[in-house]
Amino acid sequence: MHRFCSVCVVLFSLVWPCLVQPQTPTSQPLGLTSLHEGNCSCALRLHHTEPTSQEGLVMTSRELNPQFYEASRAGRVVQHHLNTLYGSPFRVYVVTQVHTARTEDTGDDGMKYVLEFSVKDWASEGPECKASAEVLYPRGDVHQPPKVQSSPDGLLQANTSDKEQAFYQRYSAAAGPVSAKDIPDSYGHIDPEMEHFWHLAWVASSFIMLNESSENTLYSLAQVAKVTQLNIQDGQLRFELQVLLHDMVSQNINRWKLQVSWSPADGVQVLEMELLPRCHCKSQTRP
Amino acid sequence: KMKGLVIVLALFLCVFGKETFEGLSDSLLDFWTEPIHDSLAVDVRVPFHSLQAVRAFLGYHEIHYEIMIHDLQDLMDEEQREMMKSRASQPRTTDGYDYASYHTFSEITSFMDMLVQEKPNFVSKLVIGKSYEGRPLNVLKFSTGANRPGIWIDTGIHAREWVTPASGTWFAKKIVSDYGHDTVLTAILDKFDIFLEIVTNPDGFHFTHTSNRMWRKTRKPNDGSICVGVDANRNWDAGFSGAGSSNNPCSETYRGPSAHSEPEVKAIVDFVKSHGNLKAFVSIHSYSQMLLYPYGYTRTPCKDQAELDELAKKAVTDLKSLYGTNYKYGSIINVIYQASGGTIDWTYNQGIKYSYTFELRDTGRYGFMLPANQIIPTAEETWLALMAIMEHTKNNPY
């Protein structure tokens, strides 16, 4: 059994007016990148660093084709990171496109990717925002999760707090604990009642997917195999989930069991997570 | 018949390896999860006649268990009933076929037979071989004259990629509907035959309907292994056994014991060689939204890279024009990953210049479980890209 340190998430539900600003020149250490289209009310402030060099060390920097897999995989890591910080049953982020990417080999520390990308919240169908971030994949024989740089101010998004409160109230007071399986089902169908549990599973899975990511992985949530509501504890809704995670590179589907808590105030936390053994049997009825 | 129980054995396995269960004869127990570690639970199916002995055994050894399913046969019967209910009305014509839903192998086969029956002078069905489990490998041939060069399209080589055979079915109907009405397609068909294999891996496909929706490979057992199946897109003789495929039968990218060892692959190889005049070859997968050309097994660019890249760019632009769907494009090894023994690397090396692989919708939100209401939009936009490839093939003879 793994114990995962819970991550406290503070959600911003401020809606900022669209900031019309000239593009920050790359000589500035901190970039505020804003979206200029129409009614966008989304600004993303992520830490943008210059290619750093320590005394006497020359950093090898390599420009990447943003369509190619190195950039895509790093973009996916950023996506997982954003979801662990800001995701909820009403907010799930996707990095839609990587615009520019380059690597910096920091030597012992690992390989750093510097990206500019677009991201949007597909759960509440928010606007698409441009942003930048850094991903550092540590080196070493034992796998360590990648580190993503984002500033404390983070992602601003559409106001979902009313919906979150309503959802929280509903399932705190529910007559019986919720339980469901196969979301989506084999035909891609999701019961409207289950949609927000699917979002919750995406966010919770992002903790695992982030943890498991390397330069040689590309994770998605393939399906929620099971969701079971547990008793409320300390004001948090709690659930046990079994999720199937798909890694595009190995094409493996891995089954994870996790215990998750959520409240509007405290966000999603993963309390426990466990990789379940694969079934290699003649009558293989599940991954 | 599956009259039996499934029992979970939990947590006390540290003292007992699988050998302990040889106190009961091996054939009694069907392990659904192997006893591999002392802290991991094990799932076992126990046949009815062994129930007494197994309960006694577990009780004596103080092994904790829970019954997960009391009667497996009941569960399977119930599942069958559910499936029968939703399959109640079969269409009589290809006009009555529901293109916006996912179908079984037998429904798709019926569709193919109906299409041939409706347009016997235009469409025929070739059986190019048999799958491991004996299912026919059916190919639709669309032809308006003899001795023509050909264009090949296949879908469903990976079992879980359901949107691909669903799109393939739609393509078949589209070809029949548009011939004689769409000038570009008509011009293509007046010069080329189109070959369309809709369910390229029927055993795997059937398995995704009945047992495991996430299955990818074929269903041929592997000598000396409990693991079944070969990745049909790593089994071709192009960079076979190189990096980008696995030699482990339990892997999702297991290449197989030798190139073309899978009957599903061998059938296409034999067809391509005996036809001898295919000019384009398109193998369709999901998901990722990509249009890819060779190579997957090596970083060496293929000699037609510039032309294939430009054509890919045009094709994805046409695709995007319909619903705004963004596709990446490039060589397999650059855009997605290194993959050895892949289909289009082999077909390209055979001299079929316009060899492409598609990865259809989406980019991971639903992944393999793409909602059925996206089948037709996916097929429609993909068709525009296919038309770009086919038209270019016609206009650039070689």
- Greater confidence (A272 vs A18) lies with A272
Distance, CA of B128 to CA of B195 (rounded, Å)? 11
Alpha carbons within 13 A on the beta-carbon side of A224: 29
Catalytic residue among B359, B380, B381, B391: B359
Sheet-wide strand order for B42-47: B30-31, B42-47, B4-10, B64-69
How long a stretch of residues is chain A?
287
Asked if pLDDT for residue B7 goes beyond 80, the answer is no
Tell me, yes or no, if B184 comes closer than 8 A to chain A by beta carbon: no
The pLDDT of residue A118 is 94
pLDDT confidence of residue A29: 30
Task: Give the HSE-up count for residue B334: Cα atoms under 13 Å, Cβ half-sphere.
Answer: 20
Beta-sheet strands, E only, within chain A? 2-3, 30-34, 43-47, 60-64, 93-105, 111-121, 129-137, 147-149, 154-155, 179-183, 219-233, 236-247, 253-263, 267-275
What CATH number is given to the structural domain containing A183?
Answer: 3.10.450.10
Mean pLDDT of A132-154: 86
Question: Has residue A4 been placed in a domain?
Answer: no
Confidence of residue A43 (pLDDT cuts 50, 70, 90): very low
A194 and A131 together in one domain: yes
Do residue A194 and residue A95 come from a single domain?
yes
In a domain, A132, yes or no: yes
The pLDDT value recorded for residue B120 is 98
Which of B34, B86, B213, B316 to probe the A interface (max A CBs under 10 A)? Answer: B213
Is the pLDDT higher at B224 or at B72? B224
CA distances from B313 to A173, B327, B330, B396 (A): 54, 9, 9, 17
**Residues in contact with B362: Cβ distance below 8 Å, sequence separation at least 6, in sequence order:** B287, B289, B370, B374
Least Cα separation, residue A21 to chain B (angstroms):
28
> Does residue B136 surpass a pLDDT of 90?
yes
Q: Domain for residue A23, yes or no? A: yes
C-alpha A106/C-alpha A136 separation (Å) is 9
Q: Is A135 a member of any domain?
A: yes
Q: Judge if A171 and A210 occupy the same domain.
A: yes
From the list B31, B37, B366, the residue facing A184 with the nearest CB is B366
A22/A150 same-domain check: no
**Same domain, residue pair A35 and A70:** no
Calculate what percentage of chain B has a pLDDT beyond 70: 89
Inter-chain CB proximity B30 and A283 less than 8 Å: yes
pTM value? Answer: 0.81
Q: Does residue B197 have an active-site annotation?
A: no
Closest among A197, A207, A209, A284 to A241, alpha carbons compared: A197
**Same domain? A134 vs A189:** yes
Q: Which domain holds residue A245?
A: 62-275
A157 in the same domain as A17: no
In the stretch 128-157 of chain B, residues with CB closer than 8 A to chain A read: none
A119 and A227: one domain? yes
Structural domains in chain A (count): 2
The answer to the question of residue A268 being in a domain is yes
Does residue A1 form part of some domain?
no
- According to the model, what pLDDT value does residue A154 have? 52
Give A198's contacts in chain B (Cβ within 8 Å): none
- Interface confidence, given as ipTM, is 0.82
Tell me, yes or no, whether A23 and A162 share the same domain: no
Q: Which amino acid is at B294?
A: P
Based on the domain organization, do A152 and A30 belong to the same domain?
no
Q: Where does B263-304 have alpha helices with state H?
A: 263-275
In a domain, A7, yes or no: no
B62 Cα distance to chain centroid: 45
Percentage of chain A exceeding pLDDT 90: 67
Per-residue pLDDT tens digits for A227-243: 999 999 999 999 999 99
Cβ–Cβ of A67/B335 closer than 8 Å? Answer: yes
Specify the 3-state DSSP secondary structure of B196: strand
> Which residues, numbered 118 to 147 in chain A, qualify as contacts with chain B under a Cβ-Cβ cut-off of 8 Å?
122
Residue type present at position B153: I
A206 and A109, same structural domain?
yes
Instruction: Examine the domain organization and report whether A66 and A39 are in the same domain.
Output: no
- Of the candidates A197, A192, A191, which has an alpha carbon nearest to the alpha carbon of residue A221? A197
Write the pLDDT tens digit of every residue in B89-118. Answer: 789 999 999 999 999 999 999 999 999 999
Task: Please name the member of A188, A246, A248 whose beta carbon is closest to the beta carbon of B372.
Answer: A188
A77 in a domain, yes or no?
A: yes
